[in-house]
Amino acid sequence: MHAIVIDGGLHWAEVPDPEPAAGEVLIDVVAAGMNRADLMQAKGQYPPPPGAPPYPGLECSGRIAAVGTGVTGWAPGDEVCALLGGGGYAQRVAVAAACVLPLPAGVALADAAALPEVACTVWSNLTMVARLRAGETVLVHGGASGIGTFAIQYATALGCTVFATARAAKHAAVAALGATPIDYEHEDFATRVEADVILDIVGASYLERNLAALRTNGRLMIIGAQGGLTTELNIGWLLAKRATVAATTLRSRPLEEKAAIVRGVREQVWPLVEAGRIKPIVDRRVPMAEAAEALRVLESSAHTGKILLTP
Protein backbone atom coordinates (compact mmCIF):
# COMPACT_ATOMS: atom_id res chain seq x y z
CA MET A 1 0.00 0.00 0.00
CA HIS A 2 0.94 3.69 0.02
CA ALA A 3 1.35 5.83 3.15
CA ILE A 4 2.87 9.17 4.13
CA VAL A 5 6.44 8.48 5.23
CA ILE A 6 8.27 11.09 7.33
CA ASP A 7 11.77 11.26 5.90
CA GLY A 8 13.14 14.78 5.78
CA GLY A 9 9.74 15.74 4.38
CA LEU A 10 6.44 13.97 3.81
CA HIS A 11 6.44 11.43 1.00
CA TRP A 12 3.55 9.35 -0.39
CA ALA A 13 5.52 6.12 -0.66
CA GLU A 14 5.07 2.39 -1.15
CA VAL A 15 5.22 0.66 2.25
CA PRO A 16 4.47 -2.87 3.55
CA ASP A 17 0.79 -3.73 3.97
CA PRO A 18 -0.28 -3.82 7.64
CA GLU A 19 -1.84 -6.96 9.11
CA PRO A 20 -4.41 -6.94 11.92
CA ALA A 21 -2.93 -8.45 15.08
CA ALA A 22 -5.09 -10.24 17.64
CA GLY A 23 -7.80 -7.85 18.82
CA GLU A 24 -7.28 -5.51 15.88
CA VAL A 25 -9.20 -4.71 12.72
CA LEU A 26 -7.73 -3.66 9.38
CA ILE A 27 -9.44 -0.64 7.80
CA ASP A 28 -9.42 0.40 4.12
CA VAL A 29 -9.08 4.14 4.64
CA VAL A 30 -11.63 6.37 2.88
CA ALA A 31 -10.55 9.58 4.63
CA ALA A 32 -8.14 10.61 7.38
CA GLY A 33 -8.55 13.58 9.73
CA MET A 34 -5.64 15.97 10.28
CA ASN A 35 -4.69 17.20 13.74
CA ARG A 36 -2.19 19.68 15.14
CA ALA A 37 -0.29 16.80 16.69
CA ASP A 38 0.50 15.66 13.12
CA LEU A 39 2.44 18.89 12.64
CA MET A 40 4.65 18.01 15.58
CA GLN A 41 5.07 14.44 14.44
CA ALA A 42 6.04 15.62 10.93
CA LYS A 43 8.77 17.71 12.58
CA GLY A 44 10.00 14.68 14.54
CA GLN A 45 8.83 16.14 17.87
CA TYR A 46 5.99 13.76 18.74
CA PRO A 47 6.95 10.16 18.06
CA PRO A 48 4.06 7.68 17.87
CA PRO A 49 3.35 5.62 20.99
CA PRO A 50 4.78 2.08 21.16
CA GLY A 51 2.98 -0.31 18.81
CA ALA A 52 1.42 2.43 16.67
CA PRO A 53 2.18 2.70 12.94
CA PRO A 54 5.02 5.14 12.14
CA TYR A 55 2.93 7.21 9.72
CA PRO A 56 0.97 10.29 10.91
CA GLY A 57 -2.78 10.32 11.30
CA LEU A 58 -4.81 9.98 14.52
CA GLU A 59 -8.22 9.18 13.01
CA CYS A 60 -9.81 7.81 9.87
CA SER A 61 -13.01 6.54 8.33
CA GLY A 62 -13.31 3.57 6.02
CA ARG A 63 -14.41 -0.02 5.59
CA ILE A 64 -13.20 -2.98 7.56
CA ALA A 65 -11.02 -5.16 5.31
CA ALA A 66 -10.17 -7.90 7.81
CA VAL A 67 -10.42 -8.69 11.51
CA GLY A 68 -7.75 -10.22 13.74
CA THR A 69 -8.28 -13.17 16.05
CA GLY A 70 -10.58 -12.60 19.00
CA VAL A 71 -12.41 -9.63 17.47
CA THR A 72 -16.17 -9.65 17.92
CA GLY A 73 -18.70 -7.06 16.85
CA TRP A 74 -16.95 -6.07 13.60
CA ALA A 75 -16.89 -7.82 10.21
CA PRO A 76 -15.33 -7.12 6.81
CA GLY A 77 -17.33 -4.52 4.90
CA ASP A 78 -18.50 -2.62 8.01
CA GLU A 79 -18.40 1.15 7.56
CA VAL A 80 -16.59 2.66 10.52
CA CYS A 81 -14.40 5.41 11.82
CA ALA A 82 -11.60 4.99 14.35
CA LEU A 83 -9.32 6.68 16.84
CA LEU A 84 -5.73 5.82 15.90
CA GLY A 85 -2.39 5.98 17.68
CA GLY A 86 -1.00 6.80 14.24
CA GLY A 87 -1.13 5.58 10.65
CA GLY A 88 -4.19 7.34 9.30
CA TYR A 89 -2.21 8.92 6.43
CA ALA A 90 -2.26 5.61 4.56
CA GLN A 91 -4.41 3.41 2.36
CA ARG A 92 -4.88 0.89 5.16
CA VAL A 93 -4.43 0.94 8.89
CA ALA A 94 -4.67 -1.67 11.66
CA VAL A 95 -6.17 -0.55 14.96
CA ALA A 96 -7.48 -2.07 18.19
CA ALA A 97 -11.13 -3.04 17.75
CA ALA A 98 -11.92 -1.14 20.97
CA CYS A 99 -11.00 2.13 19.23
CA VAL A 100 -13.45 1.64 16.35
CA LEU A 101 -16.84 3.35 16.14
CA PRO A 102 -19.71 2.56 13.78
CA LEU A 103 -20.51 5.08 11.06
CA PRO A 104 -23.25 7.23 12.60
CA ALA A 105 -26.53 7.14 10.70
CA GLY A 106 -26.87 10.19 8.47
CA VAL A 107 -23.14 10.86 8.17
CA ALA A 108 -21.28 10.22 4.91
CA LEU A 109 -18.41 7.78 5.23
CA ALA A 110 -16.09 10.35 3.64
CA ASP A 111 -16.99 12.86 6.38
CA ALA A 112 -16.83 10.55 9.40
CA ALA A 113 -13.03 10.85 9.58
CA ALA A 114 -13.67 14.33 11.01
CA LEU A 115 -15.24 12.89 14.16
CA PRO A 116 -13.21 10.39 16.25
CA GLU A 117 -10.38 12.57 17.59
CA VAL A 118 -12.52 15.60 18.34
CA ALA A 119 -15.43 13.57 19.75
CA CYS A 120 -13.13 11.61 22.08
CA THR A 121 -11.16 14.71 23.12
CA VAL A 122 -14.26 16.80 23.77
CA TRP A 123 -16.29 14.10 25.53
CA SER A 124 -13.38 12.98 27.73
CA ASN A 125 -12.69 16.56 28.80
CA LEU A 126 -16.13 18.12 29.08
CA THR A 127 -18.11 15.12 30.30
CA MET A 128 -15.76 12.50 31.76
CA VAL A 129 -13.42 14.87 33.62
CA ALA A 130 -15.23 18.24 33.92
CA ARG A 131 -18.71 16.70 34.34
CA LEU A 132 -20.36 19.48 32.34
CA ARG A 133 -24.09 19.80 33.06
CA ALA A 134 -27.02 21.33 31.18
CA GLY A 135 -27.44 25.00 32.00
CA GLU A 136 -23.77 25.66 32.59
CA THR A 137 -21.73 28.17 30.61
CA VAL A 138 -18.80 26.96 28.53
CA LEU A 139 -15.96 28.96 27.00
CA VAL A 140 -14.25 27.26 24.04
CA HIS A 141 -10.91 28.68 22.92
CA GLY A 142 -10.12 28.27 19.23
CA GLY A 143 -13.79 27.99 18.41
CA ALA A 144 -13.20 27.55 14.66
CA SER A 145 -10.75 24.68 15.04
CA GLY A 146 -11.72 21.06 14.63
CA ILE A 147 -11.92 20.64 18.40
CA GLY A 148 -13.66 24.00 18.75
CA THR A 149 -16.38 23.41 16.17
CA PHE A 150 -17.18 20.06 17.74
CA ALA A 151 -17.07 21.36 21.33
CA ILE A 152 -19.46 24.20 20.50
CA GLN A 153 -21.98 21.81 18.97
CA TYR A 154 -21.65 19.25 21.77
CA ALA A 155 -22.04 21.75 24.61
CA THR A 156 -24.94 23.43 22.82
CA ALA A 157 -26.64 20.05 22.35
CA LEU A 158 -26.20 19.37 26.09
CA GLY A 159 -28.14 22.55 26.85
CA CYS A 160 -25.21 24.78 27.77
CA THR A 161 -24.58 28.43 26.95
CA VAL A 162 -21.44 28.56 24.81
CA PHE A 163 -18.93 31.34 24.14
CA ALA A 164 -16.01 30.81 21.77
CA THR A 165 -12.91 32.80 20.93
CA ALA A 166 -12.11 33.12 17.22
CA ARG A 167 -10.77 35.59 14.69
CA ALA A 168 -13.44 38.02 13.52
CA ALA A 169 -13.47 36.44 10.05
CA LYS A 170 -14.70 33.19 11.59
CA HIS A 171 -17.39 34.64 13.85
CA ALA A 172 -20.25 33.85 11.48
CA ALA A 173 -19.21 30.19 11.33
CA VAL A 174 -18.82 29.96 15.10
CA ALA A 175 -22.18 31.65 15.70
CA ALA A 176 -23.90 29.30 13.24
CA LEU A 177 -22.74 26.37 15.40
CA GLY A 178 -24.35 27.85 18.51
CA ALA A 179 -21.69 29.96 20.23
CA THR A 180 -21.42 33.65 21.04
CA PRO A 181 -18.12 34.59 19.37
CA ILE A 182 -15.42 36.65 21.09
CA ASP A 183 -12.77 38.40 19.00
CA TYR A 184 -9.70 37.46 21.05
CA GLU A 185 -7.49 39.73 18.92
CA HIS A 186 -9.36 42.85 20.04
CA GLU A 187 -11.21 41.90 23.25
CA ASP A 188 -10.20 40.46 26.61
CA PHE A 189 -12.31 37.33 26.84
CA ALA A 190 -12.12 37.46 30.65
CA THR A 191 -14.26 40.61 30.60
CA ARG A 192 -16.85 38.99 28.30
CA VAL A 193 -17.74 35.74 30.00
CA GLU A 194 -18.05 33.97 33.35
CA ALA A 195 -17.69 30.29 32.56
CA ASP A 196 -18.31 27.11 34.51
CA VAL A 197 -16.05 25.17 32.16
CA ILE A 198 -13.29 26.40 29.84
CA LEU A 199 -11.77 24.21 27.10
CA ASP A 200 -8.33 25.67 26.44
CA ILE A 201 -5.67 25.02 23.80
CA VAL A 202 -3.48 28.00 24.71
CA GLY A 203 -1.97 27.18 28.10
CA ALA A 204 0.41 29.52 29.90
CA SER A 205 -0.41 32.84 28.27
CA TYR A 206 -4.14 32.38 28.99
CA LEU A 207 -3.92 30.82 32.48
CA GLU A 208 -4.41 33.98 34.54
CA ARG A 209 -7.30 35.22 32.42
CA ASN A 210 -8.85 31.76 32.24
CA LEU A 211 -8.91 31.66 36.05
CA ALA A 212 -10.35 35.17 36.08
CA ALA A 213 -13.12 34.05 33.71
CA LEU A 214 -13.99 30.96 35.78
CA ARG A 215 -17.04 30.92 38.00
CA THR A 216 -17.07 29.40 41.47
CA ASN A 217 -16.70 25.61 41.14
CA GLY A 218 -15.28 26.22 37.64
CA ARG A 219 -13.20 23.70 35.71
CA LEU A 220 -10.39 24.73 33.38
CA MET A 221 -9.55 21.94 30.95
CA ILE A 222 -6.20 22.42 29.20
CA ILE A 223 -5.62 20.28 26.10
CA GLY A 224 -2.86 22.26 24.43
CA ALA A 225 -0.18 24.82 25.15
CA GLN A 226 0.14 26.88 21.98
CA GLY A 227 0.74 29.87 24.28
CA GLY A 228 3.53 28.39 26.36
CA LEU A 229 4.05 25.89 29.16
CA THR A 230 5.11 27.78 32.29
CA THR A 231 3.50 30.70 34.10
CA GLU A 232 2.59 31.88 37.58
CA LEU A 233 -0.32 30.21 39.32
CA ASN A 234 -2.23 32.01 42.08
CA ILE A 235 -3.45 29.25 44.39
CA GLY A 236 -5.47 31.85 46.29
CA TRP A 237 -7.66 32.28 43.22
CA LEU A 238 -8.12 28.54 42.99
CA LEU A 239 -9.12 28.33 46.67
CA ALA A 240 -11.45 31.31 46.48
CA LYS A 241 -13.24 29.88 43.43
CA ARG A 242 -12.97 26.22 44.44
CA ALA A 243 -11.56 25.84 40.95
CA THR A 244 -10.10 22.84 39.14
CA VAL A 245 -7.34 22.94 36.54
CA ALA A 246 -6.97 19.69 34.63
CA ALA A 247 -4.78 18.89 31.64
CA THR A 248 -5.16 15.95 29.32
CA THR A 249 -3.77 14.54 26.11
CA LEU A 250 -5.62 11.79 24.30
CA ARG A 251 -2.91 9.96 22.36
CA SER A 252 -0.83 9.15 25.45
CA ARG A 253 -3.68 7.33 27.17
CA PRO A 254 -3.29 3.55 27.44
CA LEU A 255 -5.63 1.38 25.37
CA GLU A 256 -8.04 0.64 28.22
CA GLU A 257 -8.61 4.37 28.80
CA LYS A 258 -9.08 5.03 25.08
CA ALA A 259 -11.51 2.12 24.93
CA ALA A 260 -13.53 3.58 27.82
CA ILE A 261 -13.64 6.95 26.07
CA VAL A 262 -14.70 5.38 22.76
CA ARG A 263 -17.50 3.57 24.63
CA GLY A 264 -18.58 6.84 26.23
CA VAL A 265 -18.62 8.58 22.86
CA ARG A 266 -20.63 5.79 21.29
CA GLU A 267 -23.20 5.89 24.12
CA GLN A 268 -23.47 9.62 24.73
CA VAL A 269 -22.20 11.47 21.64
CA TRP A 270 -23.20 9.28 18.69
CA PRO A 271 -26.94 9.70 19.43
CA LEU A 272 -26.48 13.48 19.18
CA VAL A 273 -24.68 13.05 15.85
CA GLU A 274 -27.39 10.72 14.54
CA ALA A 275 -30.05 13.24 15.62
CA GLY A 276 -28.30 15.90 13.54
CA ARG A 277 -27.42 17.97 16.62
CA ILE A 278 -23.71 17.61 15.87
CA LYS A 279 -22.37 17.57 12.31
CA PRO A 280 -18.85 16.91 11.07
CA ILE A 281 -17.44 20.25 9.94
CA VAL A 282 -15.18 19.61 6.95
CA ASP A 283 -13.14 22.60 5.76
CA ARG A 284 -11.63 20.88 2.73
CA ARG A 285 -10.46 17.55 1.33
CA VAL A 286 -6.90 17.12 0.07
CA PRO A 287 -5.28 14.11 -1.63
CA MET A 288 -2.91 12.36 0.77
CA ALA A 289 0.01 12.88 -1.60
CA GLU A 290 -0.42 16.61 -0.88
CA ALA A 291 -0.34 16.18 2.92
CA ALA A 292 2.63 18.54 3.33
CA GLU A 293 0.70 21.41 1.73
CA ALA A 294 -2.39 20.58 3.81
CA LEU A 295 -0.30 20.68 7.00
CA ARG A 296 0.79 24.22 6.10
CA VAL A 297 -2.89 25.23 5.88
CA LEU A 298 -3.50 23.59 9.26
CA GLU A 299 -0.53 25.42 10.81
CA SER A 300 -1.78 28.78 9.49
CA SER A 301 -5.22 28.22 11.08
CA ALA A 302 -6.81 29.44 7.85
CA HIS A 303 -9.37 26.64 8.07
CA THR A 304 -12.65 26.17 9.94
CA GLY A 305 -13.35 22.67 11.26
CA LYS A 306 -11.40 19.70 9.95
CA ILE A 307 -9.10 19.15 7.00
CA LEU A 308 -9.45 15.62 5.62
CA LEU A 309 -6.99 13.65 3.51
CA THR A 310 -8.16 11.14 0.90
CA PRO A 311 -5.94 8.29 -0.28
Kindly list the residues in this chain that would bind its own copies in the complex (CB under 8 A).
129, 203-204, 207, 222-223, 225, 228-236, 238-249, 252-253
Q: Least distance from C-beta 104 to its own copies, angstroms?
A: 27
- Contacts of residue 267, defined as CB under 8 A and 6 or more positions apart, other chains included, come to none
Q: If phi over 0 gives left and psi between -120 and 50 gives alpha, with beta otherwise, what is residue 199?
A: beta
Which H or E run includes 282?
strand 282-287
Q: Least distance from C-beta 233 to its own copies, angstroms?
A: 4
Q: Least distance from C-beta 207 to its own copies, angstroms?
A: 7
Q: Least distance from C-beta 127 to its own copies, angstroms?
A: 14
- Nearer Cβ to its own copies (103/130): 130
Q: Closest by alpha carbon to 59, among 124, 113, 123, 4? A: 113
- Nearer Cβ to its own copies (176/240): 240
- Nearer Cβ to its own copies (228/276): 228
Helix (H/G/I), strand (E/B), else coil: 190? helix
How many CA atoms, within 13 angstroms, populate the side-chain half-sphere of residue 276?
1
Question: In angstroms, what CA-CA distances link 74 with 17, 23, 175?
Answer: 20, 11, 38
Q: Least distance from C-beta 223 to its own copies, angstroms?
A: 8
Q: Least distance from C-beta 242 to its own copies, angstroms?
A: 5
- Contacts of residue 249, defined as CB under 8 A and 6 or more positions apart, other chains included, come to 223
- Nearer Cβ to its own copies (20/203): 203
Helix (H/G/I), strand (E/B), else coil: 296? helix
- Nearer Cβ to its own copies (242/263): 242
Compute CA 155 distance to the chain's CA centroid, rounded to the nearest angstrom: 15
Q: Closest by alpha carbon to 80, among 31, 21, 118? A: 31
Beta strands in 87-203 (DSSP E): 92-96, 100-102, 137-140, 161-166, 180-183, 195-200
Q: Least distance from C-beta 134 to its own copies, angstroms?
A: 17
CB 138 within 8 A of CB 132: yes
AA identity, residue 254: P
- Nearer Cβ to its own copies (134/235): 235
- Nearer Cβ to its own copies (161/244): 244
CB 58 within 8 A of CB 37: yes
- Nearer Cβ to its own copies (53/218): 218
Q: Least distance from C-beta 204 to its own copies, angstroms?
A: 6
